[in-house]
Each structure stands twice: as structure tokens, then as C-alpha cells.
Amino acid sequence: MSLSSLLQLFRHSLQRLELSLAQVVGFDRSLGPALAVNGPSVLPQAPHNSDEESSEPSFMDSIFWMAAPKKRRSIEVNRCRRRDPDKMIETKNNIEPCPECGNMKLKHVLCGFCYEKVRKETAMIRKQISIMEGAPLNTPAVESVVLYENETPSNADKRIIERSRKRPYWFKV
Amino acid sequence: MAASAVTWAGLSAFGRLCGQINYRLRGASSHVSCLHTNTQLNSKHWERNNRVVYPPQQKDEPRRPAEIYHSRRQIKYSKDKMWYLAKLIKGMTVDQALTQLEFNDKKGAKIIKEVLLEAQEMAVRNHNVEYKSNLYLAESFSGKGKYLKRIRYHGRGMFGIMDKVNCHYFVKLVEGVPPKVDQKTGFDQAKEYVEELKNRTIIYSL
């Protein structure tokens, strides 16, 4: 059996499989002019020989020049490649405890916990600002200052943003 | 009368049901005789190791360290990718493993961290571990879960079958200080191999 006829057979069987799958799903291509015979609903494919032969040589030529593995790689060879030290994950030795909160942090990066707590407070301040301004692009051309509970503003003309909680220990005056 | 609607047959059936429940509960905790004592539908082998009950130790025996087996099944991740993380933390103390996983960018790192925290909590709550930091990872590995198969469409009417991969992750925590493992270099291993080859003899020879 030559390779081309094998490929044709495989292609035909694939098409037949696709058609049968389509029939199952409900795409009935042969709904129009159908045979008035009670038989298998999958019509046999008419061989499109004229079409295939023109495209076959280009397809055939390309597969002869493609790289393909000669032998199956054994599990030992595969393990040597997958487990060599370059591919393994290295333990990080630049982790240290944060002096403020005690959670671990990388040496050259801000502590995640402390950053998160500052971010949450900043979000509340920003919400307050948006309530004060009302609409976008209403920011006054003055400095702003955030005042917490029981704090009096100093005599400077700054916009005051009030937060109804006590001052966080990390937000120095 | 409506009050005495409970028939004799109903009572006996209820009694049998009680007996069955009792038998099931007692049977589940017995680990004495045969191999297939009681396999419930949803208990897998790794978790069953937690139910092992040893006989009480003698006074002169060294204290047996507590072992905690935990796993997570059908994680949507590849077993090969998970293996790298499992190999990273194997043999470390629990705290060290947690810090390494926290600063790792892989998807499996977050999942393994959750599993380790669960196991640590289980250890303190159920397995009589005194200090939650006094645990180390004796075993940590990944396994293949059940795959789903899908069609991947190629050109020219060709198709491939795509696997939607899942993996399991298993961990065994042991109480105590992790044992020191000597890191053998490749050169040492090669030397040992050559020694083994040199020590070969021909059997049944003079």
C-alpha cells in the first residue's frame, strides 16, 4: 500500500467520521434533496480525485523534508533533561522579616502587608475626596491635608480632608 | 389510632438500620485483621494513613514523632510543573517552605501553600502536635489526576486530542527537626558508580 493511498484512506475516514459526528450533533447537510430510501443517513462521499491530486504533490513534498524524531526518547533521557539544575527552582536567600509588622518580605521590595494597609487607608481617603468634590475635574488648586479625629487644623489655607477615625500610628503628622 | 401508626415491621427495620450504622462506625476505625477491612467510597489511600493507630509505646522506647498525611486532589495544574515546586520544598521546615512558596510566582505555589497551612492546622488540632513550627516535610510529591479530553483543530482537516490536565498534591508532615541530608555532588556519585563497577566479580569462579 503506497503512502499516498494510505493518506487518502485516512483523509476519507476522517471526513466520514466528521460527517457522522455532524449528523449526531444535528447539522444535517443532506436535508434538501434526500433519498426516499430507508437506509444509513450518512451518504457515501463521491471521490474528489481531480481536486486531491493537484494539491497532493505539494503536501507530499513538504512531509518528506520535515524533521521528525528518529527514536522514542526513553524516560531516563527525559528525566535527565527535565531535572537538570538549570530547570530546577532555586531557593531564595533574600527573604527577611519586615521590622514593622514581622511578616516576611524580599530585601529589595516593600513589605506586602504594610503596603496593603497603607493602600486601604489611601482608598478611604480617596473616597472621601471624591465625596467632597462630587464631580470629576473639581480639584481645587490648593494643598490638601488629612485630619483625623480630635485634630485641629493649623492656620494655613489648605483643603481639609476629614477621616472619622483615630490617626494610624504610621501616618505621622 | 394515629399515635400507634408505627408498625412492628417499621420498628424492626429501624433497629436493623441502627445496627448497620453502629457496625459501619466501629468497622471504620478497626485496623487489626484483613487488608480490605472497610473501604468507604470517598477515602483515598494517602488520607487513610492518618487513621493508623499504633499500640502504646513502652517506657524505654524513644518517642514516636507524629506524622500527618494531607493531600489535595484534582488541582487544575500540570503534574510536571507541580513536581518542581514539590521538589523545592521537600525536606524543609514548614515555615521555611511557606516563605519560599510565598515569594514564588508559579500558580501551584499558592495552592501548595494553602495545603500546607491546612495540614499544619490539622496537626495541631487532631494529631497532638505541640508546636506548629516543629514540623518538617518528610514527603512531598505530585501525581496525575483525571484528565479531560478535548479536540484541538489543526489545518487540513487534521485534529489532535488535547488533554485538560489535573494533578494531585501529597504532603507528609513529621514532628521534629528535619534530618540532615548530605548533598552528594555529581562527582561523588560518579566516583561511587566507578567503585561499584570495580567491585564486580565473576560468580561461581575459582
Which of A15, A82, A95 is the closest to B103 by Cβ? A95
User: Does the distance separating the beta carbons of B157 and A18 come in below 8 Å?
Assistant: yes
Asked if A92 and B103 come within 8 Å (Cβ–Cβ), the reply is yes
Burial of B75: CB neighbours in 10 Å, binned 0-12, 13-18, 19+: buried
In this prediction, residue A54 has a pLDDT band, given cuts at 50, 70 and 90, of: low
Q: Taking CB atoms and an 8 Å limit, are B99 and A104 in contact across chains? A: yes
Task: Indicate whether B17 pLDDT > 60.
Answer: no
Q: Can you tell me the mean pLDDT for B39-65?
A: 92
Q: Is B161 on the interface with A (CB under 8 A)?
A: no
Q: Which residues of B25-57 are buried (b: 16+ CB within 10 A; e: fewer)?
A: eeeeeeeeeeeeeeeeeeeeebeeeeeeeeeee
Residues from chain A contacting residue B159 (CB–CB below 8 Å): 14
Cell 502536635 belongs to: B129
Name the residue among A51, A45, A47, A52 with its Cα closest to residue A20.
Answer: A45
Contact A91 B88 (CB under 8 A): yes
pLDDT at position B8: 59
Higher pLDDT, A5 or A122: A122
Cβ separation of B157 and A95 shorter than 8 Å? no
What residues of chain A lie within 8 A of the CB of B87, using their CB? 88-89
Confidence of residue B164 (pLDDT cuts 50, 70, 90): very high
Tally A–B CB contacts below 8 A: 30
pLDDT at A99: 96
Count of CA atoms in the C-beta half-sphere (13 A) of B194: 6
Q: Give the pLDDT band (50/70/90) at residue B29.
A: very low
Condensed to tens digits (0 to 9), the pLDDT of residues A58-110 reads: 656 666 788 999 999 999 999 999 999 999 999 999 999 999 999 999 999 99
Please indicate if any CB of chain A lies within 8 Å of the CB of B104: yes
Q: Write down the pTM of the prediction.
A: 0.70
User: Across chain B, what does the average pLDDT equal?
Assistant: 88
Give the β-pairing of B135-144 and B159-164.
Answer: unpaired
CA atoms of B69 and B77, how far apart (whole Å): 21
* Angle made by CA atoms B154, B156, B158, in degrees to the nearest 5: 50
Using a CB–CB cut-off of 8 Å, the residues of A that contact B are: 11, 14-15, 18, 59, 82, 87-89, 91-92, 95, 104, 106
Asked whether residue B55 carries a pLDDT value surpassing 70, the answer given is: yes
pLDDT at B74 over 80: yes
In this prediction the ipTM stands at 0.71
Q: Are strands A144-147 and A159-162 parallel, antiparallel or unpaired?
A: parallel
Q: Are B71 and B129 in contact (CB under 8 A)?
A: no
Q: What is the pLDDT of residue B103?
A: 97
